[in-house]
A and B are shown apart, each in its own frame.
Chain A
Protein backbone atom coordinates (compact mmCIF):
# COMPACT_ATOMS: atom_id res chain seq x y z
CA UNK A 1 0.00 0.00 0.00
CA UNK A 2 1.41 3.36 -1.01
CA UNK A 3 1.07 6.62 0.79
CA UNK A 4 -2.27 8.30 1.30
CA UNK A 5 -3.00 11.37 -0.77
CA UNK A 6 -4.69 13.88 1.51
CA UNK A 7 -6.33 17.22 0.65
CA UNK A 8 -7.08 19.65 3.47
CA UNK A 9 -7.25 23.33 4.27
CA UNK A 10 -4.47 24.71 6.47
CA UNK A 11 -4.72 28.28 7.71
CA UNK A 12 -7.14 29.07 4.89
CA UNK A 13 -5.02 27.63 2.10
CA UNK A 14 -5.78 24.39 0.27
CA UNK A 15 -2.94 21.91 0.73
CA UNK A 16 -2.19 18.41 -0.50
CA UNK A 17 0.28 15.99 0.97
CA UNK A 18 1.27 12.35 0.99
CA UNK A 19 1.54 10.45 4.26
CA UNK A 20 1.74 6.98 5.71
CA UNK A 21 -0.95 5.77 8.11
CA UNK A 22 1.30 5.99 11.15
CA UNK A 23 2.25 9.63 10.52
CA UNK A 24 0.39 11.96 12.84
CA UNK A 25 -1.06 15.31 11.87
CA UNK A 26 1.86 16.83 13.80
CA UNK A 27 4.37 14.83 11.72
CA UNK A 28 2.63 16.02 8.56
CA UNK A 29 2.50 19.68 9.60
CA UNK A 30 6.15 19.75 10.57
CA UNK A 31 7.78 17.33 8.12
CA UNK A 32 5.60 17.49 5.00
CA UNK A 33 4.21 21.05 5.13
CA UNK A 34 7.18 22.71 6.86
CA UNK A 35 4.91 24.30 9.46
CA UNK A 36 7.24 23.87 12.42
CA UNK A 37 5.43 26.26 14.77
CA UNK A 38 3.52 23.37 16.37
CA UNK A 39 5.97 21.62 18.70
CA UNK A 40 6.36 18.02 19.78
CA UNK A 41 6.73 17.86 23.54
CA UNK A 42 5.47 14.47 24.66
CA UNK A 43 3.89 12.89 21.59
CA UNK A 44 1.18 11.40 23.79
CA UNK A 45 -1.38 14.17 24.26
CA UNK A 46 -0.19 15.20 27.71
CA UNK A 47 1.65 18.48 27.09
CA UNK A 48 -0.40 20.40 24.51
CA UNK A 49 2.63 21.87 22.68
CA UNK A 50 1.15 20.61 19.40
CA UNK A 51 -2.31 22.14 19.96
CA UNK A 52 -4.07 23.00 16.69
CA UNK A 53 -7.66 23.47 15.60
CA UNK A 54 -9.36 20.86 13.43
CA UNK A 55 -12.80 21.92 12.18
CA UNK A 56 -12.89 24.51 14.97
CA UNK A 57 -12.10 21.98 17.72
CA UNK A 58 -8.93 22.22 19.81
CA UNK A 59 -6.88 19.01 19.53
CA UNK A 60 -3.38 17.70 20.08
CA UNK A 61 -1.99 17.20 16.56
CA UNK A 62 0.06 14.27 17.89
CA UNK A 63 -3.18 12.40 18.63
CA UNK A 64 -4.66 12.83 15.14
CA UNK A 65 -3.51 10.81 12.15
CA UNK A 66 -2.39 12.81 9.14
CA UNK A 67 -4.76 10.80 6.97
CA UNK A 68 -7.67 11.92 9.18
CA UNK A 69 -7.08 15.47 7.93
CA UNK A 70 -8.74 14.67 4.59
CA UNK A 71 -11.29 17.40 3.89
CA UNK A 72 -10.70 19.08 7.27
CA UNK A 73 -10.06 22.72 8.07
CA UNK A 74 -6.88 22.99 10.14
CA UNK A 75 -5.61 26.10 11.90
CA UNK A 76 -2.13 26.29 13.42
CA UNK A 77 -0.05 28.90 15.21
CA UNK A 78 1.21 30.07 11.80
CA UNK A 79 -2.30 31.32 10.99
CA UNK A 80 -2.85 33.29 14.20
CA UNK A 81 -1.18 36.54 13.12
CA UNK A 82 -2.69 38.41 10.16
CA UNK A 83 0.42 39.04 8.06
CA UNK A 84 2.60 41.36 10.13
CA UNK A 85 -0.24 42.15 12.53
CA UNK A 86 0.05 40.10 15.71
CA UNK A 87 -3.01 38.63 17.42
CA UNK A 88 -3.81 40.31 20.77
CA UNK A 89 -2.64 37.13 22.54
CA UNK A 90 0.72 37.31 20.77
CA UNK A 91 1.07 40.95 21.76
CA UNK A 92 0.24 40.38 25.42
CA UNK A 93 2.56 37.36 25.56
CA UNK A 94 5.38 39.68 24.45
CA UNK A 95 4.34 42.58 26.68
CA UNK A 96 3.87 40.39 29.75
CA UNK A 97 6.96 38.26 29.06
CA UNK A 98 4.77 35.17 29.18
CA UNK A 99 7.36 32.89 27.66
CA UNK A 100 10.79 31.65 28.57
CA UNK A 101 12.04 28.81 26.36
CA UNK A 102 8.99 29.20 24.12
CA UNK A 103 8.35 25.54 23.29
CA UNK A 104 4.92 25.54 24.94
CA UNK A 105 3.96 28.98 23.61
CA UNK A 106 2.47 28.08 20.19
CA UNK A 107 0.20 25.50 21.80
CA UNK A 108 -0.76 27.80 24.64
CA UNK A 109 -1.69 30.60 22.23
CA UNK A 110 -3.75 28.30 19.99
CA UNK A 111 -5.53 26.90 23.06
CA UNK A 112 -6.08 30.32 24.63
CA UNK A 113 -7.46 31.67 21.34
CA UNK A 114 -9.94 28.77 21.27
CA UNK A 115 -11.00 29.65 24.82
CA UNK A 116 -11.51 33.34 24.10
CA UNK A 117 -13.53 32.62 20.97
CA UNK A 118 -15.92 30.51 23.07
CA UNK A 119 -15.79 32.57 26.23
CA UNK A 120 -14.62 36.18 25.74
CA UNK A 121 -14.77 36.91 29.47
CA UNK A 122 -13.33 33.90 31.33
CA UNK A 123 -12.51 33.98 35.01
CA UNK A 124 -8.90 33.28 35.91
CA UNK A 125 -10.01 29.87 37.21
CA UNK A 126 -11.73 29.08 33.91
CA UNK A 127 -8.61 30.10 32.00
CA UNK A 128 -6.40 27.95 34.24
CA UNK A 129 -8.63 24.89 33.85
CA UNK A 130 -8.95 25.36 30.08
CA UNK A 131 -5.15 25.55 29.79
CA UNK A 132 -4.61 22.55 32.10
CA UNK A 133 -3.71 20.54 28.98
CA UNK A 134 -0.82 22.86 28.12
CA UNK A 135 2.29 22.22 30.17
CA UNK A 136 5.05 24.80 30.62
CA UNK A 137 8.27 23.28 31.98
CA UNK A 138 9.75 26.72 32.67
CA UNK A 139 6.76 27.11 35.02
CA UNK A 140 5.69 30.49 33.77
CA UNK A 141 2.02 29.85 34.40
CA UNK A 142 1.29 33.05 36.28
CA UNK A 143 2.60 35.18 33.43
CA UNK A 144 0.81 33.05 30.85
CA UNK A 145 -2.50 33.46 32.65
CA UNK A 146 -1.91 37.19 33.08
CA UNK A 147 -1.23 37.54 29.35
CA UNK A 148 -4.37 35.57 28.49
CA UNK A 149 -6.52 37.68 30.81
CA UNK A 150 -5.02 40.88 29.41
CA UNK A 151 -5.63 39.74 25.84
CA UNK A 152 -9.22 38.86 26.74
CA UNK A 153 -9.72 42.35 28.11
CA UNK A 154 -8.21 43.92 25.01
CA UNK A 155 -10.33 41.76 22.71
CA UNK A 156 -13.49 42.75 24.56
CA UNK A 157 -12.58 46.33 23.70
CA UNK A 158 -12.37 47.28 27.36
Chain B
Protein backbone atom coordinates (compact mmCIF):
# COMPACT_ATOMS: atom_id res chain seq x y z
CA UNK B 1 0.00 0.00 0.00
CA UNK B 2 1.54 3.27 -1.09
CA UNK B 3 2.00 6.10 1.36
CA UNK B 4 -0.27 9.08 1.01
CA UNK B 5 1.22 12.54 1.51
CA UNK B 6 -0.60 14.94 3.81
CA UNK B 7 -0.61 18.72 3.73
CA UNK B 8 -2.40 21.17 6.01
CA UNK B 9 -1.83 24.58 4.39
CA UNK B 10 -2.71 27.68 6.39
CA UNK B 11 -3.53 29.96 3.46
CA UNK B 12 -5.56 29.73 0.26
CA UNK B 13 -2.44 30.36 -1.82
CA UNK B 14 -0.54 27.53 -0.13
CA UNK B 15 -3.48 25.19 -0.64
CA UNK B 16 -3.59 26.00 -4.37
CA UNK B 17 0.14 25.33 -4.56
CA UNK B 18 -0.33 21.93 -2.87
CA UNK B 19 -3.00 21.05 -5.42
CA UNK B 20 -0.88 22.22 -8.33
CA UNK B 21 2.19 20.35 -7.05
CA UNK B 22 0.15 17.14 -6.79
CA UNK B 23 -0.80 17.51 -10.46
CA UNK B 24 -4.25 15.96 -10.14
CA UNK B 25 -3.29 13.45 -7.44
CA UNK B 26 -4.65 15.49 -4.54
CA UNK B 27 -7.95 15.17 -2.73
CA UNK B 28 -9.34 17.92 -0.52
CA UNK B 29 -10.14 17.02 3.09
CA UNK B 30 -12.88 19.15 4.64
CA UNK B 31 -15.00 17.22 7.15
CA UNK B 32 -13.88 13.87 5.76
CA UNK B 33 -17.24 12.13 6.18
CA UNK B 34 -17.16 10.98 2.57
CA UNK B 35 -13.41 11.09 1.95
CA UNK B 36 -12.42 8.76 4.78
CA UNK B 37 -15.05 6.22 3.77
CA UNK B 38 -13.63 6.23 0.23
CA UNK B 39 -10.09 5.99 1.61
CA UNK B 40 -10.95 2.94 3.68
CA UNK B 41 -12.83 1.27 0.85
CA UNK B 42 -9.79 1.68 -1.40
CA UNK B 43 -11.73 3.93 -3.78
CA UNK B 44 -9.60 7.01 -3.25
CA UNK B 45 -7.31 7.61 -6.19
CA UNK B 46 -5.09 10.10 -4.38
CA UNK B 47 -1.44 10.37 -3.49
CA UNK B 48 -1.94 13.55 -1.46
CA UNK B 49 -4.62 14.66 0.99
CA UNK B 50 -4.90 18.42 1.48
CA UNK B 51 -6.65 19.40 4.71
CA UNK B 52 -8.11 22.88 4.14
CA UNK B 53 -9.40 23.38 7.69
CA UNK B 54 -6.39 25.44 8.80
CA UNK B 55 -7.33 28.20 6.35
CA UNK B 56 -9.30 30.82 8.32
CA UNK B 57 -11.75 31.80 5.53
CA UNK B 58 -12.66 28.14 5.00
CA UNK B 59 -13.72 27.79 8.64
CA UNK B 60 -15.66 30.99 9.37
CA UNK B 61 -19.09 32.55 8.86
CA UNK B 62 -19.12 36.32 8.25
CA UNK B 63 -21.77 38.86 7.34
CA UNK B 64 -20.99 40.38 3.93
CA UNK B 65 -23.04 42.95 1.97
CA UNK B 66 -26.12 42.00 3.96
CA UNK B 67 -25.69 38.31 3.13
CA UNK B 68 -23.49 35.62 4.62
CA UNK B 69 -20.14 34.18 3.63
CA UNK B 70 -19.91 30.61 4.87
CA UNK B 71 -16.57 28.82 4.74
CA UNK B 72 -16.57 25.62 2.70
CA UNK B 73 -15.59 23.48 5.74
CA UNK B 74 -17.90 25.07 8.32
CA UNK B 75 -19.65 22.09 9.92
CA UNK B 76 -23.38 21.45 10.06
CA UNK B 77 -23.27 21.92 13.83
CA UNK B 78 -21.55 25.30 13.48
CA UNK B 79 -23.93 26.53 10.77
CA UNK B 80 -26.91 25.42 12.86
CA UNK B 81 -25.60 27.36 15.85
CA UNK B 82 -25.52 30.64 13.86
CA UNK B 83 -28.88 32.29 14.61
CA UNK B 84 -28.63 34.92 11.84
CA UNK B 85 -28.03 32.40 9.05
CA UNK B 86 -30.81 30.20 10.39
CA UNK B 87 -33.21 33.16 10.39
CA UNK B 88 -32.32 34.26 6.86
CA UNK B 89 -31.87 30.85 5.18
CA UNK B 90 -33.62 28.20 7.28
CA UNK B 91 -33.94 25.87 4.28
CA UNK B 92 -30.18 25.80 3.71
CA UNK B 93 -29.42 25.27 7.40
CA UNK B 94 -32.02 22.52 7.74
CA UNK B 95 -30.79 20.78 4.59
CA UNK B 96 -27.23 20.54 5.90
CA UNK B 97 -28.54 19.44 9.30
CA UNK B 98 -30.41 16.53 7.69
CA UNK B 99 -27.10 14.84 6.87
CA UNK B 100 -26.23 12.02 9.25
CA UNK B 101 -25.93 11.80 13.01
CA UNK B 102 -24.70 14.24 15.67
CA UNK B 103 -21.24 12.75 15.08
CA UNK B 104 -21.45 13.49 11.34
CA UNK B 105 -22.81 16.98 11.99
CA UNK B 106 -19.61 17.87 13.84
CA UNK B 107 -17.67 17.44 10.60
CA UNK B 108 -19.93 17.45 7.51
CA UNK B 109 -19.77 20.68 5.49
CA UNK B 110 -21.43 22.47 2.59
CA UNK B 111 -18.18 22.33 0.61
CA UNK B 112 -17.75 18.61 1.11
CA UNK B 113 -21.37 17.86 0.34
CA UNK B 114 -21.10 19.82 -2.92
CA UNK B 115 -17.71 18.59 -4.10
CA UNK B 116 -18.38 14.93 -3.27
CA UNK B 117 -20.59 15.21 -6.34
CA UNK B 118 -23.48 13.04 -5.20
CA UNK B 119 -26.74 13.62 -7.12
CA UNK B 120 -28.51 13.01 -3.78
CA UNK B 121 -26.59 15.59 -1.72
CA UNK B 122 -29.05 17.19 0.70
CA UNK B 123 -27.57 20.65 1.13
CA UNK B 124 -27.01 21.30 -2.56
CA UNK B 125 -30.61 21.70 -3.84
CA UNK B 126 -31.18 24.09 -0.93
CA UNK B 127 -28.07 26.07 -1.90
CA UNK B 128 -29.11 26.11 -5.57
CA UNK B 129 -32.58 27.36 -4.64
CA UNK B 130 -30.89 30.04 -2.52
CA UNK B 131 -28.86 31.26 -5.54
CA UNK B 132 -25.67 30.55 -3.62
CA UNK B 133 -22.41 31.61 -5.23
CA UNK B 134 -19.16 29.66 -4.68
CA UNK B 135 -15.84 31.40 -4.36
CA UNK B 136 -13.26 29.15 -5.99
CA UNK B 137 -9.51 29.58 -5.58
CA UNK B 138 -7.02 28.60 -8.25
CA UNK B 139 -3.58 29.54 -9.53
CA UNK B 140 -4.88 32.71 -11.18
CA UNK B 141 -6.63 33.94 -8.04
CA UNK B 142 -10.26 33.58 -7.11
CA UNK B 143 -13.35 33.27 -9.28
CA UNK B 144 -17.04 32.98 -8.58
CA UNK B 145 -19.55 30.46 -9.91
CA UNK B 146 -23.14 29.55 -9.11
CA UNK B 147 -23.46 26.34 -7.08
CA UNK B 148 -25.46 24.67 -9.88
CA UNK B 149 -22.43 24.89 -12.19
CA UNK B 150 -20.12 22.83 -9.97
CA UNK B 151 -21.37 19.23 -10.13
CA UNK B 152 -21.38 17.86 -13.67
CA UNK B 153 -22.27 14.23 -12.94
CA UNK B 154 -22.00 11.61 -10.20
CA UNK B 155 -18.67 12.27 -8.44
CA UNK B 156 -17.66 14.78 -11.12
CA UNK B 157 -17.16 18.53 -10.76
CA UNK B 158 -16.23 21.41 -13.03
CA UNK B 159 -13.31 22.38 -10.77
CA UNK B 160 -9.82 22.26 -12.29
CA UNK B 161 -7.25 20.01 -10.60
CA UNK B 162 -5.65 23.01 -8.90
CA UNK B 163 -8.90 24.66 -7.78
CA UNK B 164 -10.98 24.31 -4.63
CA UNK B 165 -14.10 25.89 -3.14
CA UNK B 166 -13.13 28.36 -0.40
CA UNK B 167 -16.54 29.65 0.65
CA UNK B 168 -20.17 30.19 -0.28
CA UNK B 169 -22.07 33.47 -0.48
CA UNK B 170 -25.68 33.31 0.63
CA UNK B 171 -27.25 36.50 -0.71
CA UNK B 172 -29.06 39.08 1.42
CA UNK B 173 -32.76 38.47 1.98
CA UNK B 174 -35.33 41.07 0.92
CA UNK B 175 -38.52 41.38 3.01
CA UNK B 176 -41.14 38.63 2.53
CA UNK B 177 -38.66 35.96 1.47
CA UNK B 178 -38.50 32.32 2.57
CA UNK B 179 -36.87 29.03 1.67
CA UNK B 180 -37.31 25.36 2.50
CA UNK B 181 -35.79 21.99 1.70
CA UNK B 182 -37.54 18.64 2.06
CA UNK B 183 -36.28 15.18 1.30
CA UNK B 184 -37.91 11.80 1.18
CA UNK B 185 -36.21 8.79 2.79
CA UNK B 186 -37.77 5.43 3.68
CA UNK B 187 -37.00 5.92 7.38
CA UNK B 188 -37.00 8.92 9.72
CA UNK B 189 -33.24 9.51 10.07
CA UNK B 190 -29.77 8.57 8.80
CA UNK B 191 -30.49 7.90 5.15
CA UNK B 192 -29.75 9.17 1.66
CA UNK B 193 -32.38 11.15 -0.20
CA UNK B 194 -34.64 9.26 -2.60
CA UNK B 195 -35.87 12.70 -3.66
CA UNK B 196 -34.86 16.15 -2.39
CA UNK B 197 -36.59 19.45 -3.20
CA UNK B 198 -35.47 22.99 -2.41
CA UNK B 199 -37.59 26.10 -2.97
CA UNK B 200 -36.78 29.76 -2.33
CA UNK B 201 -39.23 32.56 -3.07
CA UNK B 202 -39.87 36.26 -2.52
CA UNK B 203 -43.26 37.99 -2.28
CA UNK B 204 -44.20 41.63 -2.82
CA UNK B 205 -46.22 43.59 -0.25
CA UNK B 206 -49.45 42.21 -1.76
CA UNK B 207 -48.29 38.59 -1.41
CA UNK B 208 -47.54 38.03 -5.10
CA UNK B 209 -44.41 36.00 -5.83
CA UNK B 210 -41.80 38.17 -7.55
CA UNK B 211 -38.87 35.75 -7.61
CA UNK B 212 -38.45 32.02 -7.12
CA UNK B 213 -35.94 29.24 -7.59
CA UNK B 214 -36.67 25.52 -7.46
CA UNK B 215 -34.08 22.75 -7.26
CA UNK B 216 -34.34 18.97 -7.20
CA UNK B 217 -31.93 16.31 -5.95
CA UNK B 218 -31.70 12.53 -6.50
CA UNK B 219 -33.96 12.53 -9.56
CA UNK B 220 -31.31 12.95 -12.28
CA UNK B 221 -27.58 12.31 -12.82
CA UNK B 222 -26.97 15.83 -11.49
CA UNK B 223 -28.75 18.26 -9.22
CA UNK B 224 -31.32 20.27 -11.12
CA UNK B 225 -32.24 23.94 -11.19
CA UNK B 226 -35.81 23.71 -12.48
CA UNK B 227 -36.56 27.06 -14.10
CA UNK B 228 -39.85 25.80 -15.59
CA UNK B 229 -41.12 25.08 -12.07
CA UNK B 230 -40.07 28.50 -10.76
CA UNK B 231 -41.83 30.14 -13.73
CA UNK B 232 -45.11 28.51 -12.66
CA UNK B 233 -45.14 30.32 -9.31
CA UNK B 234 -43.65 33.71 -10.24
CA UNK B 235 -46.46 36.27 -10.61
CA UNK B 236 -48.92 34.18 -8.57
CA UNK B 237 -50.07 33.96 -4.95
CA UNK B 238 -49.31 30.22 -4.88
CA UNK B 239 -52.88 29.08 -4.45
CA UNK B 240 -53.69 25.38 -4.62
CA UNK B 241 -54.10 25.36 -8.40
CA UNK B 242 -50.65 26.93 -8.82
CA UNK B 243 -49.11 24.47 -6.38
CA UNK B 244 -50.58 21.58 -8.42
CA UNK B 245 -48.98 23.00 -11.57
CA UNK B 246 -45.72 23.50 -9.69
CA UNK B 247 -45.69 19.84 -8.70
CA UNK B 248 -46.40 18.79 -12.30
CA UNK B 249 -43.54 20.99 -13.58
CA UNK B 250 -41.15 19.50 -11.01
CA UNK B 251 -42.15 15.95 -11.95
CA UNK B 252 -41.67 16.78 -15.63
CA UNK B 253 -38.05 17.75 -14.96
CA UNK B 254 -37.14 14.37 -13.44
CA UNK B 255 -34.91 11.79 -15.10
CA UNK B 256 -34.31 9.44 -12.18
CA UNK B 257 -32.72 6.03 -11.76
CA UNK B 258 -34.79 2.96 -10.99
CA UNK B 259 -33.59 1.08 -7.93
CA UNK B 260 -34.82 -0.73 -4.84
CA UNK B 261 -35.14 2.55 -2.96
CA UNK B 262 -37.47 4.10 -5.52
CA UNK B 263 -38.76 3.35 -8.99
CA UNK B 264 -38.74 5.94 -11.77
CA UNK B 265 -42.48 6.46 -11.43
CA UNK B 266 -42.27 6.77 -7.64
CA UNK B 267 -39.39 9.23 -7.59
CA UNK B 268 -41.05 11.32 -10.29
CA UNK B 269 -44.33 11.52 -8.38
CA UNK B 270 -42.64 12.21 -5.02
CA UNK B 271 -40.59 15.02 -6.60
CA UNK B 272 -43.83 16.81 -7.43
CA UNK B 273 -45.29 16.27 -3.98
CA UNK B 274 -42.16 17.41 -2.14
CA UNK B 275 -41.72 20.48 -4.34
CA UNK B 276 -45.31 21.51 -3.59
CA UNK B 277 -44.83 20.99 0.15
CA UNK B 278 -41.47 22.79 0.21
CA UNK B 279 -43.05 25.71 -1.65
CA UNK B 280 -45.86 25.83 0.92
CA UNK B 281 -43.33 26.02 3.77
CA UNK B 282 -41.26 28.66 1.95
CA UNK B 283 -44.48 30.64 1.38
CA UNK B 284 -45.39 30.49 5.05
CA UNK B 285 -41.90 31.67 6.00
CA UNK B 286 -42.00 34.46 3.42
CA UNK B 287 -45.32 35.71 4.78
CA UNK B 288 -43.87 35.75 8.30
CA UNK B 289 -40.86 37.88 7.28
Contacts and interface: CB of A to CB of B under 8 A. Distances in A.
A45 B190 contact: no
Contacts of B33: 45, 63
Interface in A6-46: 20-22, 24, 43-46
Contacts of B106: 54, 57-59
Contacts of A129: 189
Contacts of A114: 102
A130 B102 contact: yes
A132 B32 contact: no
Contacts of A1: 3, 5
B16 to A, nearest CB: 20
B1 A132 contact: no
Interface in A100-123: 111, 114-115
Interface residues of A, number: 32
Given A21-B6, A62-B40, A68-B32, 16 more contacts: A45-B33, A45-B100, A57-B77, A57-B106, A58-B102, A59-B106, A60-B104, A62-B36, A63-B32, A63-B37, A64-B107, A67-B8, A68-B53, A70-B8, A129-B189, A133-B101
Contact of A21 (B5, B40, B53, B103): B5
For chain B, the bracket of interface size reads: 20 to 34
Interface string B87-125: 000000000000011111011000000000000000000
The A contact surface, by secondary structure, is mixed
Interface of A: 1, 4, 20-22, 24, 43-46, 48, 51, 54, 57-60, 62-65, 67-68, 70, 111, 114-115, 129-130, 132-134
Contact of A48 (B4, B6, B53, B101): B101
A65 B102 contact: no
6 contacts: A21-B3, A21-B6, A57-B106, A60-B104, A70-B8, A129-B189
Interface in B129-144: none
